[in-house]
Each structure stands twice: as structure tokens, then as C-alpha cells.
Amino acid sequence: MSDMASQFWDQLAGQGLLPRLRDLPSEEREAARHAANRNSDNIEMLKAVLCAGLFPNVLKVTNATGKAGLQLHQHKQKVEIHPSSFNRGVQRIDAGWLVYHEKVATGKIYVHDVTAVTSLDLFLFGAEPQVLHAQHRVIVDNWIEMRISPRTAVLFKALRRQLFVLMAERIEVEARTRGDERSPRSLTSMITGMSSAQPGGVGWPPPMETREQAQAALLTALTWLIGKGVDLQADELPAESKKRPAPMRR
């Protein structure tokens, strides 16, 4: 595991995203490692990274009743969690999907190292979603199906595009600054804070004087949707945006 972590560090350093440890004085190396792992306890961030990195290794979760218990499928193939897995024996998973690291066939089809993710994770960090507006459905990777309203689907696709644009810009900046704190703010707060953002109130929407402000305003306006969790079928607007000006009296 230590060797894999070192190799991964070297790859990121080769792209300019992390400093080369061998170029640092010994007293600065530990500080560099700590800074690089500052999100190691951020569960939502880790799930987003795992979803993006392990895709298309995805399983559909069905919490059946009775003896059937937890059922997992990939396409039409039945899959089980390996007996050596930490999650073996779990009877219920409160998420619609799992991502996994490895799949093996030894009499049955088993998976190792599974992590629960939501349909929102897959929509934002999986393959390009195919939106079927008339059917109120979204298809990812030709088999992952989600029920979603057309309006919500369009907004999430816009959010997905902005995420990729901002991540690409951040990577480019990091490659130049090597993590300088003066570089544009991290995407971490945006990705992990999606469930709490609620547009509304005095001064909403904010003025959009620059491209960065325009992107931030769009992201804030969209992220309230993610607070709905795995329920993508709602076709509502934030309470504030539903308000209409009173008709003028003549």
C-alpha cells in the first residue's frame, strides 16, 4: 500500500499537482504529506473521487424483504459481496448503487471493496448521461437508469458541465502554482457542500460581473437540488424563485 501511495504521489508530482518530495528538505516533507491528505476524513469528497475513479464498476442495490435480503446486480448479472469483504453480511444499504474495486468469479460472481454512492454521484461523476425527456428518465453507461424530471435533468447537466470546466481550470492553476493558497479556491467546498446550499434571501441572485462569479452563481442556484438526496423525480423550484412580482394595478 505504501508503494502504491508513493507511485501515485510521483504521478501527481509529474503533472505539477504536488511537489516532488525528494526536492524538499526533510523537515518539509511531512508538512507536504499532511497538506495533500487534508481531505482524508471528508467522506463526501472521498465518495465523489471513488465514483469517478471506479466507474464503470457499478452495482444496482435492491433491498429485498424476507430471506432474499440485499441483492446486487450489474446489468442483468447477479453479484455478491465477497466473504472476505468488510461489508459482507450487510442486510440493507440505504443507497441505490455501489461502486467496487474488483470483481472475481469463483463459482459465483463476487466483488471486493464496495462503497455506497447515490444516483447523483453517478450523474455528476460517471459517464455522460443520456436524458430521455419524454420518458422522465436518464440513462448512464447504457444501463444505469434514473427517474428524473426533464427540468431537473437539464439543470444537472449544466451543473455537470460547470464542474468539469472548473476542475480543468483548477488543475491547470495547480500545475502552475503547485498548491499556492493564493490560487482560486478549492472545489472541495463546492462538491461537499452541495447538500446545504439554498438560494434565496435578500440580494439573490448575486451580481455576475465576472466569468468566475457567473459560474459560482449558477452552481449555487443548482446545488439546492442535491439536497433532495437520491430523489430525482421532484420538479420544483426553490421557494424564493417561485415568487412572482405582484401584478401592476392600472
Q: pLDDT digits over 115-141, tens only?
A: 999 888 899 899 999 999 999 999 999
3-class DSSP assignment, residue 235: coil
Q: How many residues does the chain have?
A: 250
> Which residue has better confidence, 228 or 37?
37
CB 49 within 8 A of CB 187: no
Number of domains in the chain: 3
> Which whole number is the average pLDDT over 161-178?
76
Q: Is the pLDDT of residue 94 over 80?
A: yes
Q: Does some domain include residue 18?
A: yes
Which one-letter DSSP state was computed for residue 95?
Answer: S
> Last residue of some domain: 99, 117, 135?
117
State the pLDDT confidence band at 189, using cuts at 50, 70 and 90: low
Beta-carbon contacts of 104 under 8 Å, excluding residues fewer than 6 positions away, are 82, 110, 111, 112
96: domain range? 50-117
> Which whole number is the average pLDDT over 157-168?
83
Q: Does some domain include residue 83?
A: yes
Q: Does some domain include residue 132?
A: yes
State the pLDDT confidence band at 217, using cuts at 50, 70 and 90: low
> Which residue has better confidence, 57 or 124?
57
pLDDT at position 229: 41
> What is the distance between the alpha carbons of residues 91 and 95, in angstroms, rounded to a whole number?
12
Mean pLDDT of the chain: 75
Q: Does some domain include residue 246?
A: no
pLDDT at position 177: 65
> Which whole number is the average pLDDT over 2-15?
86
> Which whole number is the average pLDDT over 206-225?
51
CB 212 within 8 A of CB 162: no
> What is the distance between the alpha carbons of residues 232 and 240, in angstroms, rounded to a whole number?
20
Beta-carbon contacts of 110 under 8 Å, excluding residues fewer than 6 positions away, are 79, 80, 81, 82, 83, 103, 104
pLDDT at position 222: 53
Whether residue 186 is found in the same domain as residue 104: no
CB 160 within 8 A of CB 154: no
pTM, two decimal places: 0.69
> What is the distance between the alpha carbons of residues 182 and 95, in angstroms, rounded to a whole number?
38
Q: Edge-to-edge, what's the strand order for the sheet holding 144-147?
A: 130-132, 137-140, 144-147
Radius of gyration of the chain, Cα coordinates, nearest whole angstrom: 21
pLDDT at position 101: 93
Whether residue 107 is found in the same domain as residue 128: no
The continuous run of DSSP H or E covering 218 comes out as helix 211-223
Whether residue 80 is found in the same domain as residue 101: yes
> What is the distance between the alpha carbons of residues 189 and 193, in angstroms, rounded to a whole number?
5
State the pLDDT confidence band at 236, using cuts at 50, 70 and 90: very low
> Which whole number is the average pLDDT over 169-190?
59
> What is the distance between the alpha carbons of residues 49 and 43, in angstroms, rounded to a whole number?
10
